[in-house]
Amino acid sequence: MSELRIDKYLWAVRLYKTRSIATDACRSGRVKLNGVPVKPSHEVAEGEIYELNIDQMHRTIQVKALLGNRVGAKLVENYLTDLTPKEEYERIQMARQYGFEKRDRGAGRPTKRDRREIEEFKYK
């Protein structure tokens, strides 16, 4: 495999559920190479290190090898190295334990402004 797009690679190694979600993540600047957002058509090379924002988690991965099709979960470790710090996993585990978004009972639905503030907090 000589050429592989970043959106297809992220989908193939099971970091995103669908390729279109991976494409949207690239377009919105959640996938970075050396701190610079990449386009979905960016060609992946072995050894490159990418920073991803998936939901509330900031992951760092290194490309080990290129692949043509989506692989099983057990084979993912052959194609990428997870460089995400252990503290990030602990932060997510603690947040899941206490709940990400808690609203007081009777507070009602979030307003449009509340929703924007929540999304800004979660994804930036």
Burial level of 33, CB count in 10 A (0-12/13-18/19+)?
middle
Q: Domains for the chain: give ranges and CATH numbers.
A: 1-84 (3.10.290.10), 86-124 (no CATH)
- The token duo for 55 is 């939901």
Question: What confidence category does residue 14 fall into, taking pLDDT thresholds of 50, 70 and 90?
Answer: very high
- Nearest-5° angle of CA 62, CA 93, CA 84? 15
Q: In this predicted structure, what is the pLDDT of residue 88?
A: 85
Q: What is the pLDDT of residues 101-122, one digit of tens each?
A: 667 788 888 889 988 887 777 6
Helix (H) / strand (E) containing 20:
helix 19-27
Q: In this predicted structure, what is the pLDDT of residue 107?
A: 81
> CA–CA separation, 45 vs 23, rounded Å?
18
Whether the full predicted model's pTM is greater than 0.95, yes or no, is: no
Question: What confidence category does residue 45 fall into, taking pLDDT thresholds of 50, 70 and 90?
Answer: very high
The whole-chain average pLDDT of the chain stands at: 87
> CA–CA separation, 42 vs 24, rounded Å?
13
pLDDT at 100 > cutoff 80: no
SS3 call for 6: helix
